[in-house]
Amino acid sequence: MDYDVTTWLNLSLRWLHVIAGVAWIGASFYFVWLDNNLRAPVPEKDGVKGELWAVHGGGFYHSQKYMTAPAHMPDHLHWFKWEAYTTWLSGFALLIVLYYVGAPVYLIDASKHAFSQAGAVATGLAFILGGLVVYEGLCRSPLGQRPRLFGVVWFLALTAATWALTQLFTDRGAFIHVGAIIGTCMVGNVFLIIIPNQRKIVADMLAGRPVDPRLGAMGKQRSVHNTHMTLPVIFIMISNHYPVVTGHHLAWLLLAMISLGGVSIRYFFILRHHGIIRPGFIFAGVMMVFFVSVIASQKPKAETVSDVPFPVAQAIVEKHCVACHGAVPTHKGFTAPPNGAAFDTPAGMARYAGKIRERAVDSTSMPLGNETHITDHERAQLGAWIEAGAKTQ
């Protein structure tokens, strides 16, 4: 039996990561909505800031929010934490399995920087930890009390990190590390601030001590940060499907613009929860994506090549592609061609000509890490063969 542990571990971790992420993001979005839709209780109730009546699934729900703690602690209190922890733990495990164990293929691009495997892993971890340190430093500084200015500075810091990572790693490796930085900061908010502060509130309440309202305010601040960072990190999670973005020579700028658009769209819904309708934020988000599509369509002027016969194109594909995209891959770590796309026959090349163009001509996403050292001239030759109709005879 040919059992590929890495493939099934990858599948299992990715599935767990998506499931946990859906649970975490769903809870986060719900509580932001709930917090913004609370109404003053009628009649007034001691300690209750706001309440909400809702109907769902055939039943009625009555939610109340206490700014500090209720007069009597309930026997059962649910802590929303494992959704966040499981998302991060599964994501980090996936990062190790795919990008660190498979660093020579998925992380290292020798044309950018000739890392050793250990050096690439250490650099990736340094960016993730460094991002968390910078974020915490900004939050705990006076800047943390100025939300809009904080957002601008943190956005610029992430953009600078994105640019640096795209100069060091493969396209996919760079993007996934930006996502890891954001995700680590988000779960850090839960692990370092929100849950510890909630525990202090509960402990003070049970001990009969006055509850410091600043603890709740700090947790709210970090929760607001998390909801604004959610849409950018979701895009990064799926970005490997869009080499037109990840493989562009201005990928760092495209990601920054898409992220800014995501924040704008998220802010529209936050305002809407308050009954404020500002369609301009949706328009701005959509326009950001439109501008990205325009920029992504503009590529550096490529070498002009014409009259490329099929044998030349086939030789290029055999040299640079079929080790992975063959019916029986010979590349370590692949037991089947990715996505079932095999290019080792004329029919396969013709069938997947569009994919070849998307990932190896219009972008530099393939070969992974350019480990076969495909040249710009060879990419131009493939493009010319495809433009001429991808004929095999």
Asked if the model's pLDDT at residue 65 lies above 90, the reply is: no
Most confident of 209-213, 277-281, 347-351, 378-382: 277-281
Q: What is the C-alpha to C-alpha distance for residues 31 and 37, in angstroms, rounded to an integer?
A: 10
- pLDDT above 90: residue 364: no
**Picking from 254-258, 276-280, 347-351, which range would have the lowest pLDDT averaged per residue?**
347-351
Better-scored residue on pLDDT, 148 or 340: 148
Q: Where are the domains of the chain?
A: 5-36+68-72+83-297, 310-387
**Residue 253: is its pLDDT beyond 90?**
yes
Read off the DSSP letter of residue 368.
G
**Predicted model pTM:** 0.84
Task: Encode pLDDT of 156-188 as tens digits.
Answer: 999 999 999 999 999 899 999 999 999 999 999
The mean-pLDDT minimum among 159-168, 194-203, 317-326, 366-375 falls in: 366-375
Question: What does each C-alpha distance from 121 to 60, 89, 115, 169, 191 come to in angstroms?
Answer: 51, 17, 9, 11, 24
pLDDT score of 137 more than 70: yes
Task: Show Cβ contacts of residue 346 under 8 Å, excluding neighbours closer than 6 positions.
Answer: 310, 314, 392, 393
Instruction: Please tell me the predicted confidence (pLDDT) of residue 232.
Output: 94
pLDDT at 68: 65
Banded model confidence at residue 300, pLDDT cuts 50, 70, 90 = low
The residues pairing with 65 across neighbouring beta strands, listed in sequence order, are 50
Which neighbouring-strand residues pair with 55?
Answer: 60
Average pLDDT over residues 24-47: 85
* pLDDT value, residue 3: 66
Q: Which H helix or E strand runs over 53?
A: strand 48-56
pLDDT at 50 over 70: yes
309-325: average pLDDT: 87
Mean pLDDT of 217-236: 92
Lowest mean pLDDT among 74-83, 254-263, 318-327, 331-340: 331-340
Residues whose CB falls within 8 Å of the CB of residue 100, separated by 6 or more in sequence, listed in order: 107, 120, 121, 124
| pLDDT bucket at 303, cuts 50 / 70 / 90 | low
pLDDT at residue number 1 = 52
pLDDT for 298 equals 76
- Express the helix, strand and coil content of the chain in percent, nearest 5 each: 65, 5, 30
Q: Which residues pair with 48 in a beta bridge?
A: 66
pLDDT at 4 over 90: no
Q: What is the pLDDT of residues 83-126, one digit of tens each?
A: 999 999 999 999 999 999 989 888 998 888 889 999 999 999 99
Return the pLDDT at 302: 62
Query: With 70 as the cut, is the pLDDT of residue 330 above it?
Result: yes
User: What backbone phi and psi angles, to 5 degrees, belong to 109?
Assistant: -120, 100
The per-residue pLDDT for 104 is 86
